[in-house]
Chain A
Amino acid sequence: MAKHKIEVKLVGEFTTIDVYLEGTEIPLREINDGEYFKLYNEFVIDGQLDIHVRLKGWIDMKWKISIKVDDIEVFKKNGTFDWKGFVTFTEKVNI
């Protein structure tokens, strides 16, 4: 277990945002129009970084998520909502 600087950035328009890192819900804050962000200076990661994301939005809208650990981008993913307006994925990232 080690403490790391973590930055989570989510871009898009959503009706529900659920982002979990290491099982902890990340309370993202809208810092710009359609741009959500959260910074932890000391975030405990045990081995691999567990990422779980659930997003709900509008059809045809683009979304993008990026996660930086100690100022290095370790994970990024983007896409466009289909008619279901729902995206979910779980990833494990080596630090």
Chain B
Amino acid sequence: MKNSFILTFCVIVFNSTITFAQNTRTDSLLMKIDTSLTKISETVDAIKEEVVEEKSKPFTGQSMFEDSKGKSAIFLPNGGTFGLNIADGSIRLSFAQNVSTSPIFLGLDVSGKTNDGVLSLISKGNISPGAKVNGVIGVKELFRKSDIFDGWIALKAGYEGSAFKLYNPDSAFSKQITKTTFNSFVTSLSFNLKIHGNKLLAVSVGYQKSNNYSDLDDIELIDKKIITDSATNTTRTYETKTKAKVGDYKAFQQIPINLDYFWTPKNLPRIGFYHYWRNAYSIEDKKFTNGFGTGIYLLKKNHPLSSIAGVVFEVKDITKLSENYGKGFVVNIVASYNFGFTKRK
């Protein structure tokens, strides 16, 4: 009896020891898994933060003969252009046509845009609309007797308008988000000089109201509401997202001066180079802003004014380039479609 008791005791102790050892190993394994999962979670969070930070647009797009804001001194007096400017978030349709057989031409330049770019439209479906409409009248064949030069002038006049939301955290809660409209009469006079068959130099001077919308910071506001149904004791939560800009919004009068130069090498007509300088004088601030860009295009065979593809490097504001190199430097991809508009027989 005594022996059997001792034997039973030994068995219980042995089993308990094994169980204890197994439990210790399991706990240790679980601890390791937990630590690994925590590390994975931290890593994923870090990657997520990096991805969110890199959401800014490193590559955007624009039409041939214009900068990322759709500005250009070049206006072709024949045919038309349909272009998608991804950088400016605009779709542009422009055409010009001769008045009978005279050197006078009339044209129209219409574009619809989102202030936040097409990328924002695709990614968030939350846009601030805008529109530009310009009528054009011009005279071509300015150097008819010259064998080298050709030139034309074009006067553009029109309207630009847009609507967007501004956020002011210092205002009363109900007045923090304000819908703002921007309207401007736009006019410009451009002179285009064609030198031989492979160079085009253009300069334009204009007047328009402008704003610092693109310099303001993007912000996404989320309003959350909770509704509780006392009958079923159910709580329902919903949220509305509003995209707005935050910062010191300013509208000002501006005299933009654009200088554009397009050329193709003599023996390589399929390659085009485009350089532009953008200068704007703010009447209120009495300050100049300067930007520039340069691009290279692969042109269509026998159509040197149409590009298949291109890439443009742009510095929007030279002063901001020194402050933040990455923000002031933009790489744009070019895509455009040229078409004819005449049909009268």
Question: Distance (Å) between the CB of B331 and the closest chain A CB?
Answer: 27
**Contact of A30 (CB < 8 Å), options: B98, B144, B198:** B98
Chain A residues whose CB sits within 8 angstroms of the CB of B97 once the complex forms: 30
Chain B residues whose CB sits within 8 angstroms of the CB of A32 once the complex forms: 340, 342-343, 345
Contact with B along A74-95 (1 / 0, CB 8 A): 0000001111111010000000
Q: Which residue of chain A has the shortest Cβ distance to B195 in the bound complex?
A: A85
List residues of B (197-240) whose CB comes within 8 Å of A's CBs.
197-198
Is A29 in the interface zone, CB < 8 Å from B?
Answer: yes
Contacts across chains A and B counted by CB atoms under 8 Å:
90
Q: How large is the interface on A (under 10, 10 to 19, 20 to 34, 35 or more residues)?
A: 20 to 34
Q: Which residue of chain A has the shortest Cβ distance to B301 in the bound complex?
A: A60
**Contact of B198 (CB < 8 Å), options: A13, A80, A85, A88:** A85
Is A34 in the interface zone, CB < 8 Å from B?
Answer: yes
Chain B residues whose CB sits within 8 angstroms of the CB of A16 once the complex forms: 141, 144, 150
**Contact of B197 (CB < 8 Å), options: A29, A31, A85:** A85
Given A15-B140, A29-B100, A82-B197, check contact A58 B79 (CB 8 Å). no
Contact indicator B340/A57 (Cβ below 8 Å): no
Contact indicator A18/B144 (Cβ below 8 Å): yes
Instruction: Count B interface residues, CB 8 Å.
Output: 36
Contact indicator A62/B197 (Cβ below 8 Å): no
List residues of A (2-60) whose CB comes within 8 Å of B's CBs.
13, 15-16, 18, 27-35, 56-60
Q: Which residue of chain A has the shortest Cβ distance to B200 in the bound complex?
A: A58
Contact indicator A34/B340 (Cβ below 8 Å): yes
Is B250 in the interface zone, CB < 8 Å from A?
Answer: no
Given A16-B144, A60-B304, check contact A86 B197 (CB 8 Å). yes
Is B147 in the interface zone, CB < 8 Å from A?
Answer: yes
Chain B residues whose CB sits within 8 angstroms of the CB of A82 once the complex forms: 197, 266
Contact indicator B264/A59 (Cβ below 8 Å): yes
**What are 6 pairs between A and B in contact, CB < 8 Å?**
A31-B344, A31-B345, A33-B341, A58-B197, A59-B264, A61-B304
Question: Which B residues are closer than 8 A to A by beta carbons?
Answer: 77-79, 97-98, 100-101, 140-141, 144, 147-148, 150, 152, 194, 196-198, 264, 266-267, 269-270, 299, 301-305, 339-345
Q: List 12 other contacts, CB 8 Å, given A13-B79, A60-B304, A82-B197.
A: A13-B78, A15-B140, A15-B194, A16-B150, A18-B144, A30-B98, A32-B343, A33-B341, A33-B343, A59-B197, A60-B264, A61-B197
Question: Which A residues are closer than 8 A to B by beta carbons?
Answer: 13, 15-16, 18, 27-35, 56-62, 80-86, 88
